[in-house]
Amino acid sequence: MNDVLRVEPLLFPVEFSAHRTRVFVNDLDVVATAYPADGYHGQPVAGAVPSWLLGPDGLAASPRPREVWLGGAGPADGLVVRVRLVGSEVVWDDWRMTDHHDSSARPVRRLGDFRFDAAAYASELARATARADRSWPARSVAEHLRAVLWRDGYSQDDGTWVHDYAAIRAPEDDPDVVVVGYRARDVGGTRAHLPGTYSITFPVDGTDPEDQARAIVHRLRHEDLKPLSTHQPRRPRR
């Protein structure tokens, strides 16, 4: 009997700064299983971004074996699996964990070989792609915000009140808001930014998403929004 693959894109999830994916085989979350119970040094882990896993260099199978970064902390610190098409089956094997502190990759023995029916496998990737591609007004606003606020990367300096942005989300379970996570500048000048991160929620509606994003950017750059934000203390590294 073949194994069963399920790929669930997480669009703007609370735990992560970007889209991520959960990858299940026979209802087992394979990325979480490869890590300790507390994740990566106390941080949650998940599959890679949907655009990677569902793109041409991701889970798509061919007779030529490929090593695919499945997820974890990042490409230099994460779970790698070999993906190949063998006849009418897609085979996953040779699980390894990479670590940027160590040039060698250690095997992950708690995950075995998996064999999927190739037609069912392709159908599941198509289903996951359709789910990852769907849109709603808040997602469109968030995409415009990301394009502006992260145009120079995650560490972009941004004005009097914001040091940089930690996350920009449009939670699927609350489709009428966007949430922006940021580190606040220390206006006293004794340090670059205040400890921890702040999170502020903005309501959105069905009007032009670019105009709404522009209005949010203006507030972020010209108002001290800390009193309206939720403060999240920095978590100690375990």
Average pLDDT over residues 99-109: 66
What band does 39 get if pLDDT is binned at 50, 70 and 90? confident
CB-hemisphere CA count at 13 Å for 101? Answer: 0
Give domain limits for the chain.
5-133, 137-232
pLDDT of 101 over the 70 cut: no
Beta strand spans in 75-169 (E)? 77-86, 89-99, 102-107, 114-117, 162-169
Q: Which of 7-11, 74-78, 120-124 has the highest mean pLDDT?
A: 120-124
Among 43-52, 73-82, 95-104, 200-209, which stretch is predicted with the lowest mean pLDDT? 95-104
CB-hemisphere CA count at 13 Å for 224? Answer: 4
Query: Quick one: residue 196, left, alpha or beta (phi over 0 = left, psi -120 to 50 = alpha)?
Result: left
pLDDT of 82 over the 70 cut: yes
Q: How far apart are CA 202 and CA 117, in angstroms?
A: 44
**Whole-structure pTM value:** 0.73
Confidence at residue 155, expressed as pLDDT on a 0 to 100 scale: 52
**Residue 226, both tokens:** 């800390």
| Average model confidence (pLDDT) across the chain | 87
Token look-up 């990479």 returns 98
Q: How far apart are CA 99 and CA 101, in angstroms?
A: 5
